Chains A and B, each alone.
Chain A
Amino acid sequence: MTRTERAIGTSLALRVAGLRKQYPKVLAVDGLDLDVARGEVFGLLGPNGAGKTTTLEMIEGLTPPDGGVIEVLGLDWRHHGAEIRARIGVQLQSTSLFNKITPREALDLYGSYYPKCRGSRELLELVQLTDKADAFHVTLSGGQMQRLALALALVNDPELVFLDEPTTGLDPQARRSLWDVVRRIKAEGRTVILTTHYMDEAETLCDRLAIMDHGKVLTAGTPMGLIQELAIPSVVELAFAGAAPAPEAFAATLGQPVARRGDLWEIPTQDPKAMLPALLEAAEAAHIPYQQIHVRRATLEDVFLHLTGRSLRD
């Protein structure tokens, strides 16, 4: 190993190559490669069942992989398990605590498991739970429980933090407040790896992300880069009053792909200005009962749709 190679090796917070996990009936992870640099917020984006959680569990040392390489902070689970555990922080998809433990006690208790730990007062402040420090866990709201779970993941002052679907099931305000905490964690210089199936979350939080489906990485890059790579940077939406009708016949008339999502038809286009008159005319001729028309720039959702032919939320 040359000097430069070693330098590159250690500047990575995580390196995963050819990772595989076979469950009795399903190949959950199928040759997955990832590189995450130190200090970045990295997102694994994909629909439910894409293999995000299994991937994360293997990286966190909870599930042994069936093949491939995992290097966490340059270390291998098989030889340095204790050291890795001491240097990473993990928030699982659901964190179960005693009903009658208080946030302060939980943080002190979990802190005592580590060689190095941060004070509970500082952590409570970081996740804005100071006023709930001595309330029983069972009395916290969903968002507060998630923030406590996040604080627990930070209790050992970790270099690398894993967050598995940190905002699933939270209301919009609670999600925003959790995003703030994630940004603060990044500002403290930590590397964050999170999974999500919300594209807005990935877009707003992540420096880089990988889009996953069927246990593989389909593409990876910055959110902007991925959108720009898409040859179709704009989307025209026709909104219907109820569920949108089947779009196939109209797509054939228009000579363009039309995707249906909920009460919308989505028509990706390179040049909305040129396309709109033809679209309006065709819709008029076919008596399409749409209510409104919008033009928006493409999002990660469209990138996913383009890559898989499916919507993220299906």
Chain B
Amino acid sequence: MLLIRQFVMEWKLYSRDRVALFWTFAFPMLMLLGFGTIFRAGSTPSLTLVVAGDVPGAQELLAALDKTPVKPLPLAAAEAEARWRKGDTAAQLEAGPAGPRLKVNNYLMAQGQMTAQIVQQASLALQVRQDGHEARFLPVALESPGHGHSENYAAFLLPGLLGMNLLSMGLFSVGMVNVSYREKGKFRRLAVTPLPKWIFLAGQVLHRLTVVFLQAGCMLAVGYFAFGIANQGSFLLLALIMALGSACFMSMGFALSGFARTSEGYAAISNAFFFPMMFLSGVYFTLDSAPRWMQQAVVALPLSPFLKILRAVFNDGTGLAGHGLGLVIVLAWTGGCFLLALKKFSWA
């Protein structure tokens, strides 16, 4: 009875906290909608190629770009130079000593390189045709590792965001909140009442769990209705994995909160865990191009194996087979953090 009351109160107060509601519910959904739309497969964003002044011999090349995402933008030489200096130009075609040449802005590598490559291909195809042949491009299929999804980057991003949500819930909604309760004397106020402390914590944990599941439900709905992404595996398994992740990151929050006296101290400690996991665990992109030692180090942190398992179920509809080591790593972190939390968590 007391527990239910405590749980209901947590929800009531939480629902009044608009900032928390925004970051917990609206923000991940906006991320998914935003990135999912930008990187929608098949609709490669259009790329601009500035053509500076009169470039002799470029006429046919520009015509050959017609069916590519690259859109030529002819400008007078002075205008093109001004645009380049402002830093707005990613790639530019200009007259060189031996015919047209490309210039790529090294601050806008991603767009610039992509543009340059497409122009390069068009140029090669043109040369082949001038030699009397027709260039043939190899067909490309977009597909996930488990052959499940082929439509969209959003399908990769969605499980990543679900994992991120668990991480930030554990480290901030649990860890940070409890440090500030202790710092501000809220725990002391509770300690002079007969309320058993476990009821207070259980109410908090129950509340966070329901938030996590509601949040995941919203994300799945956005994924489904905006991008047609659906869970390929069993929902029960998905829920169990989410529950395991919640246990892991909540324990981590409780454990870390035992190491800091003040909110500032906690921010430093938790960020040391949060940022490496956020950037290096494959939430937004895979780390294929990172150095090997870094890839191996990151697997030891729980978020990376957790996301692999989550994606295997959600995107590829497979079971847990083949993810034994990953499961062991996540379980070990969960158990370790839980024990550490029992030892280090304090009320005063």
Inter-chain contact B17/A100, CB cutoff 8 Å: yes
Would you call A159 an interface residue if the criterion is a C-beta within 8 Å of the partner chain's C-beta atoms?
A: no
Digitize B188-232: 1 where CB-to-A-CB distance is under 8 Å, 0 elsewhere.
110111110000000000000000000000000000000000000
Query: Which residues of chain B in 22-64 are interfacial with respect to chain A, using CB atoms and an 8 Å cutoff?
Result: none
A105 to B5, CA, bound (A): 12
> Across the interface, which residues of A come within 8 angstroms of B188, CB to CB?
62, 92
Inter-chain contact B348/A62, CB cutoff 8 Å: yes
A47 to B12, CA, bound (A): 42
> Across the interface, which residues of A come within 8 angstroms of B2, CB to CB?
112-113
A111 to chain B, nearest CB (A): 10
Would you call A126 an interface residue if the criterion is a C-beta within 8 Å of the partner chain's C-beta atoms?
A: no
A62 to B181, CA, bound (A): 16
> Across the interface, which residues of B come within 8 angstroms of A61, CB to CB?
191-192
Would you call B339 an interface residue if the criterion is a C-beta within 8 Å of the partner chain's C-beta atoms?
A: no
Would you call A101 an interface residue if the criterion is a C-beta within 8 Å of the partner chain's C-beta atoms?
A: yes
Q: Quick one: given A92-B188, A95-B189, A96-B185, are A101 and B194 in contact (CB under 8 Å)?
A: no
> Across the interface, which residues of B come within 8 angstroms of A60, CB to CB?
192
Q: Quick one: given A98-B13, A100-B13, are A86 and B185 in contact (CB under 8 Å)?
A: no
Inter-chain contact B9/A92, CB cutoff 8 Å: no
A98 to B15, CA, bound (A): 12
> Across the interface, which residues of B come within 8 angstroms of A156, CB to CB?
193
Query: Which residues of chain B in 159-198 are interfacial with respect to chain A, using CB atoms and an 8 Å cutoff?
Result: 181, 184-186, 188-189, 191-195
> Across the interface, which residues of B come within 8 angstroms of A136, CB to CB?
16
Interface-centre pick from A82, A100, A136 (highest chain B CB count, 10 A)? A100
Option from B17, B181, B185, B192 in Cβ contact (under 8 Å) with A85: B192
A92 to B185, CA, bound (A): 9
A102 to chain B, nearest CB (A): 10
> Across the interface, which residues of A come within 8 angstroms of B16, CB to CB?
100, 136
Query: Which residues of chain A in 79-93 are interfacial with respect to chain B, using CB atoms and an 8 Å cutoff?
Result: 82, 85-86, 88, 90, 92
A146 to chain B, nearest CB (A): 14
B87 to chain A, nearest CB (A): 44
A99 to chain B, nearest CB (A): 8
A26 to B169, CA, bound (A): 40
Inter-chain contact A109/B193, CB cutoff 8 Å: no
Inter-chain contact A109/B185, CB cutoff 8 Å: no
Option from B5, B9, B186, B195 in Cβ contact (under 8 Å) with A96: B186
Inter-chain contact B186/A90, CB cutoff 8 Å: no
Option from B186, B195, B348 in Cβ contact (under 8 Å) with A113: B195
Inter-chain contact B194/A113, CB cutoff 8 Å: yes
> Across the interface, which residues of B come within 8 angstroms of A85, CB to CB?
192-194
Option from A97, A114, A152 in Cβ contact (under 8 Å) with B186: A97
> Across the interface, which residues of B come within 8 angstroms of A115, CB to CB?
194
A95 to B195, CA, bound (A): 17
Digitize B1-19: 1 where CB-to-A-CB distance is under 8 Å, 0 elsewhere.
0100100010011001100
Chain B residue with Cβ nearest A81: B194
> Across the interface, which residues of A come within 8 angstroms of B17, CB to CB?
100
B193 to chain A, nearest CB (A): 4
Inter-chain contact B191/A109, CB cutoff 8 Å: no
Option from B9, B184, B194 in Cβ contact (under 8 Å) with A86: B194
Digitize A152-170: 1 where CB-to-B-CB distance is under 8 Å, 0 elsewhere.
1000100000000000000
Inter-chain contact B9/A109, CB cutoff 8 Å: yes
A224 to chain B, nearest CB (A): 33
A286 to B298, CA, bound (A): 82
A142 to chain B, nearest CB (A): 16
A115 to B5, CA, bound (A): 15
Chain B residue with Cβ nearest A96: B184
Inter-chain contact B193/A113, CB cutoff 8 Å: yes
Would you call A228 an interface residue if the criterion is a C-beta within 8 Å of the partner chain's C-beta atoms?
A: no
Inter-chain contact A110/B348, CB cutoff 8 Å: no
B295 to chain A, nearest CB (A): 43
Inter-chain contact A110/B193, CB cutoff 8 Å: yes
Would you call A94 an interface residue if the criterion is a C-beta within 8 Å of the partner chain's C-beta atoms?
A: yes
Q: Quick one: given A94-B185, A95-B189, A96-B186, are A114 and B5 in contact (CB under 8 Å)?
A: no
Chain A residue with Cβ nearest B1: A112
Chain A residue with Cβ nearest B195: A113
Inter-chain contact A101/B184, CB cutoff 8 Å: no
B183 to chain A, nearest CB (A): 9
B22 to chain A, nearest CB (A): 15
Chain B residue with Cβ nearest A94: B185
Chain A residue with Cβ nearest B8: A109
Q: Can you list the 4 inter-chain pairs with the closest CB atoms, starting with the nearest?
A: A96-B184, A113-B195, A90-B192, A100-B16
Please give the residue numbers on chain B whose beta carbons come within 8 Å of chain A beta carbons, in ascending order.
2, 5, 9, 12-13, 16-17, 181, 184-186, 188-189, 191-195, 348
Please give the residue numbers on chain A whose beta carbons come within 8 Å of chain B beta carbons, in ascending order.
60-62, 82, 85-86, 88, 90, 92, 94-98, 100-101, 105, 109-110, 112-115, 136, 152, 156
23 A-B pairs (CB sep. < 8 Å): A61-B191, A62-B192, A85-B193, A86-B194, A88-B192, A92-B185, A92-B188, A92-B192, A94-B184, A95-B185, A95-B189, A96-B181, A96-B184, A96-B186, A97-B186, A98-B13, A105-B12, A109-B9, A112-B2, A113-B2, A113-B195, A114-B193, A136-B16
Sample of 12 more A-B contacts, CB < 8 Å, known A86-B194, A92-B192, A97-B189:
A60-B192, A82-B194, A85-B193, A90-B192, A94-B185, A95-B185, A96-B181, A96-B184, A96-B186, A109-B5, A113-B195, A136-B16
